[in-house]
Amino acid sequence: MVLLPGPGADAGRRRPQLIQCFGRFRFAPDYECGLIELDPGAVCLRGQRGEAAGEHALAIEKALAGITNQLSALQRKLQIREAELKEAHRHVAGLEEKLLKLKEYRRELKLLKKERRLLRSSAERRVGQVLLAPYRIPEKLAKTVWKKVRKPKSATASEYQKWFERHRPSVQDLERMRDEARKFALRPLISVITPVFDTPVQWLEEAVQSMLSQVYENWELVLVDDGSTNNELLHLLPRLAARDQRIVIAGLGKHGGISAASNHGLALARGEWVAFLDHDDLLEPDALFQNVSVLQKDSCVDLIYSDEDKLTEDGLGSPILKPDWSPDFFLSCNYLCHLIFLRRQLICDVGGFHSDLDGSQDYDLLL
């Protein structure tokens, strides 16, 4: 008796069941019957006299079933690999075709360059330049005049600049904020730390003046000289300290980098809250006020950040308007940046800044 698996049948699973079933009727598999060419899942059964097919035949069938399953899995993998190989061949063929086109383009480009060199050195071109020269003079003159008479970009304020001026606090607004700040329930000391290294004198003076203009008055400015060599700057630092007792001057003695200077400033800071101001940055007069105002509503916050802008010759025109707290965005880039208010104790708890990460030390600290 020959049993053939039907379409879609799992021969590896069915064979042991069939052997066991027909074994009850004294049929046993004949393994010498060559049916592999007919179908790998075919089985030949012969009637046996005496005892029914025993456990030995059933064990053989189970082993064969396992081998058949493994063979089927290998065949499926082989089919997948063959399909991948065909796809790879098609991809390689496509690349070879593109390479041939590029080589052809390269040959054409060489020919065009050769023709251009011949044309540029030809007598016809020289004659044409002589004939066209009178017509080119008015064109050049028009371009020169246009450059002189056209309005510079700074003459026309952008929509953003107009919006900013409309919302910028007036003198009366600033006076009102100053009075309000003096009545705050929470008036923490804000330590503003500014590392200084060969800063242009004008920039540093403007940065310090922006601090002196703050309507919130409970602050200290710690200027840390990071081994500057500019004599004009070195003479300016003590004069800045003389302007206001809230300005503290410190020095590292040698250049240690922005992290070392910032850590030195942290060691000298007395405020519960710390802000970092670059030596070429400016603060709006209400900057500290706006941050301390947040504490009046929620005294448990640990970090406050704000929008920023870039100051150019044309004024403010590159605003960075930041979203609410976004962990995903922050892991992509340090969008907090300037101006940041932090509790000083938190910075001390994480060990301050790391000098080996100068340039991204603030991002590392916040992370």
* Residue range 51-55: mean pLDDT, rounded: 51
The backbone torsions φ and ψ at residue 318, rounded to the nearest 5 degrees and listed phi first, read -130, 65
* Residue range 54-77: mean pLDDT, rounded: 71
pLDDT at 52 over 50: no
CA 245-248-253 angle, to 5 degrees, is 150
Residue 274's pLDDT is what?
A: 92
**Helix/strand/coil for 305:** strand
Maximum average pLDDT range among 3-12, 61-70, 328-337: 328-337
Residue 228's pLDDT is what?
A: 86
Percent of the chain whose predicted confidence (pLDDT) is above 70: 73
In this structure, what token pair is assigned to residue 181? Answer: 């700040």
Between 185 and 150, residue with greater pLDDT: 185
Q: How far is CA 255 from the centre of its chain?
A: 31
Cα 281 to Cα 291, 295, 344, 354, distances in angstroms = 17, 24, 21, 22
226-246 tens-digit pLDDT = 888 888 888 888 888 888 898
Cα 230 to Cα 198, 216, 225, 233, 236, distances in angstroms = 6, 32, 11, 5, 10
CA gap 76, 314 in Å, rounded: 68
Between 59 and 299, residue with greater pLDDT: 299
- pLDDT grade for 154, boundaries at 50, 70 and 90: very low
pLDDT at 51 over 60: no
pLDDT at 350 over 70: yes
* Residue range 312-325: mean pLDDT, rounded: 76
93-152 tens-digit pLDDT = 888 888 888 888 888 888 888 888 787 777 777 766 666 666 555 555 656 665 655 545
Pick from 44, 34, 39, 45: nearest CA to 7: 39
Which of 148-157, 212-221, 247-256 shows the lowest per-residue confidence on average (mean pLDDT)?
A: 148-157
Between 335 and 66, residue with greater pLDDT: 335
Classify residue 27 as exposed, middle or buried by CB count within 10 Å of its CB (0-12, 13-18, 19+). buried
Residue 57's pLDDT is what?
A: 61
* Residue range 70-93: mean pLDDT, rounded: 85
Residue 234's pLDDT is what?
A: 87
Work out whether strand 247-251 and strand 315-316 pair parallel, antiparallel, or are unpaired: unpaired
CA gap 78, 35 in Å, rounded: 24
CA torsion angle for 5, 7, 9, 11 (degrees, to 10)? Answer: 40
pLDDT at 216 over 80: yes
- pLDDT grade for 365, boundaries at 50, 70 and 90: confident
Q: HEC string of 211-255? A: HHCCCCCCEEEEEEECCCCCHHHHHHHHHHHHHCCCEEEEECCCC
* Residue range 297-320: mean pLDDT, rounded: 80
251-306 tens-digit pLDDT = 888 888 888 888 888 888 898 989 988 888 888 889 889 888 988 888 888 888 88
